[in-house]
């Protein structure tokens, strides 16, 4: 089916999320809480767009909107820009010194001095992407805790969490770098827990925690287990070398 986004005709599969279709066609829609590796969350709301269907217009979150008919989409209409500006003002109030938020709020013309004041040390916008990533991993080590203005993402009772394997997936997906991970002397520290890092057998670079390798072990095929102790870069080099050998001998 064909849909029109900002005047551009785009091919869409029925049920495909609007944000994905826009991305595939090189149309930029701002978002903070979206990762291509995870299902849409719709929490930051920045990906809102205006859609027109049978003469009726409405606002939807594009990361959560499955396209089922031939709609017309406006990603930067006056109404959308106005709403995004307000959303960015609230996000700025929440995380006033965060670079990502500041870059976006300047683009949308949010003033420096707004009437809400936030904690200058706060970077978390409570989008929940880290919690989702951890859930998808199967660890369930973190969640949102408390309520209202004290709501935050944490481990149970802020203690080092037993199911946490130190994979740092939560930190990698965080749009505002709010989750602190340090790596020093072969030890990774995240969520108040220390993890011994394992070195790559080829290049010697520390690349994963013991717990991470242990966790992955049950999920890997026999072939993949051959490369268990190699970092991603070396794994690629070794696999492509092996493939070359196979082709040469064939």
Distance between CA atoms of residues 215 and 46, nearest Å: 35
Nearer to ligand SF4, 41 or 167 (CB): 167
Distance between CA atoms of residues 177 and 248, nearest Å: 45
For residue 178, the minimal CB distance to ligand SF4 (Å) is: 12
Phi, psi torsion values for 133, nearest 5 degrees? -60, -40
For residue 225, the minimal CB distance to ligand SF4 (Å) is: 21
Nearer to ligand SF4, 73 or 141 (CB): 141
For residue 159, the minimal CB distance to ligand SF4 (Å) is: 13
For residue 30, the minimal CB distance to ligand SF4 (Å) is: 25
Nearer to ligand SF4, 2 or 184 (CB): 184
Nearer to ligand SF4, 71 or 170 (CB): 170
Give the H/E segment covering residue 8.
Answer: strand 8-11
Contacts with ligand SF4, residue ranges (CB under 6 A): 133-134, 137, 139, 141-142, 164-170, 190-191
**Cβ burial 9-48 (10 Å sphere, 16+ → b, else e):** ebebeeebbbbbbbbeeebebbbbbbbeeeebbbbbbbbb
């Amino acid at each position: 089916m064909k849909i029109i986004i900002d005047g551009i005709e785009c091919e869409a599969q029925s049920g495909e999320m609007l944000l994905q279709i826009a991305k595939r066609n090189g149309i930029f829609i701002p978002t903070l809480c979206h990762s291509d590796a995870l299902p849409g969350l719709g929490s930051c709301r920045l990906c809102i767009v205006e859609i027109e269907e049978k003469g009726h217009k409405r606002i939807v979150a594009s990361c959560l909107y499955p396209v089922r008919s031939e709609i017309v989409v406006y990603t930067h209409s006056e109404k959308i820009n106005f709403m995004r500006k307000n959303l960015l003002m609230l996000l700025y109030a929440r995380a006033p010194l965060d670079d990502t938020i500041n870059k976006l709020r300047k683009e949308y013309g949010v003033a420096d001095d707004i009437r809400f004041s936030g904690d200058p040390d706060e970077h978390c916008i409570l989008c929940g992407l880290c919690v989702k990533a951890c859930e998808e991993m199967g660890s369930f080590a973190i969640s949102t805790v408390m309520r209202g203005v004290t709501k935050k993402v944490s481990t149970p009772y802020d203690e080092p969490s037993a199911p946490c394997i130190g994979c740092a997936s939560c930190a990698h997906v965080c749009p505002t770098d709010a989750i602190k991970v340090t790596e020093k002397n072969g030890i990774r520290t995240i969520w108040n827990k220390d993890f011994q890092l394992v070195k790559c057998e080829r290049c010697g670079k520390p690349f994963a925690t013991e717990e991470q390798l242990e966790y992955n072990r049950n999920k890997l095929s026999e072939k993949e287990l051959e490369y268990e102790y190699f970092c991603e870069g070396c794994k690629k080099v070794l696999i492509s070398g092996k493939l070359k050998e196979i082709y040469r001998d064939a």
